[in-house]
Amino acid sequence: MIMEQPDYLRTIRARGKWLGGRINDLYVRDFPVMRSDEPPHNEGTNTGPTPLEITLASLCA
């Protein structure tokens, strides 16, 4: 028996593509790509915020 999904349940999807080193492109719905990276002292190239910075920023939303 197939039951309908209740209105209060939602599926949320995001995906990431590793570009090498510490760089990842992050995809959520139809929004522009968000890049995460690390600063040079953490073996990155500083082309985007760190994953922790993205997580902390999401708490401000």
22-41 burial by CB neighbour count: b if 16+ within 10 A, else e? bbbebeeeeeeeeebbbeee
Could you tell me the residue range of the domain that residue 47 belongs to?
A: 15-58
Residue 6: inside a domain: no
pLDDT score recorded for residue 2:
76
pLDDT score recorded for residue 10:
83
pLDDT at 1 over 80: no
Q: Which has more pLDDT, 1 or 53?
A: 53
Residue pLDDT, tens place only, 8-55: 888 899 999 999 999 999 999 999 999 999 999 999 999 999 999 999
How many structural domains comprise the chain?
1
Residue 43: inside a domain: yes
